[in-house]
Structure 1
Amino acid sequence: MAQLKLQPETAVQTEIYAKFFHGLSNPTRLRIVEILLDGEKNVSQLVEATGATQSQVSNQLACLKWCGYVTSRQEGKYVLYRISDERVRTILQLAKAIVADNAEHIRCCTRM
């Protein structure tokens, strides 16, 4: 049986993947994504849930929306945000499982 040979990533692809993960590296952005996994929320609800300012939440939502983590829709005077792709849930579930196995090492890491 022939082995499938994977081609190495190009530098551009690697940079895009790194930026994708960087999108979740900010604690406020990550918290917003986690909250939105439970369903649509408006900015006021996200402000209340995160404890961040309205400006911080709006800025982080703009980043998350631009990079494709979340999408929005207008409902009356409110803009409701939601996760744009259910695979984001899977990514976070996998990350939590890996972190659970390596939490102390990650916590103590001085290289990141």
Structure 2
Amino acid sequence: MAMTAPDATSGRAGLEPAAALFRSLGDPARLAIVHRLAAGEARVVDLVEQLGLAQSTVSKHLACLRECGLVDSRPVGRASFFSLTRPSLLDVLVAAEVVLAETGSRVALCPAYGTPDGDTR
């Protein structure tokens, strides 16, 4: 999806899919999972161990990401290996890192979206 400058006819409705994408990445646990899967596929147990999250948390967020079409899984025996379905998602993560670097991570201090103490956890 190419983002272009809005014109008078596009309105906000045309931006809803992009807003939904950013909401899907808006939870730190989901973002950590996506970031980890960018390095390659992983099982739930791998994600639990590597990210320090509860198994139920990882499973819940993987289900959300799967419903959004961002991850998929393949069964191997009794386990499932999860991977990103859209390699272009990596471009979004890289672009976000560039914006954060260019703004000095000021979004962490934003009263509407940052954390109260500016911690970027």
For the superposition of Structure 1 and Structure 2, which TM-score range results when normalised by the shorter chain?
0.7 to 0.9
Aligned residue number for residue 84 of structure 1: 85
Distance 1:9 1:56 in 2: 37
TM superposition shift of 1:105: 1.7
Q: 1:98 to 1:68 in 2, by over 3 A?
A: same
| Long gaps (5+) in structure 1 | none
Distance 2:6 2:18 in 1: 17
TM-score, structure 2 normalization = 0.81
Could you give the per-residue CA deviations for residues 9-44 of structure 1, whole angstroms, max 9, x where no partner exists?
A: 354432222111101100000000000011110000
State the secondary structure of the residue aligned to 2:25: coil
Distance 1:19 1:6 in 2: 17
Write the letter of the residue equivalent to 1:62: A
Q: Alignment RMSD, CA only?
A: 1.7
State the secondary structure of the residue aligned to 1:103: coil
TM-score, structure 1 normalization = 0.88
| Long gaps (5+) in structure 2 | 114-121
- 2:16 pairs with 1:20: no
Q: State how 1:87-102 maps to structure 2 within 5 Å.
A: 87-102=88-103
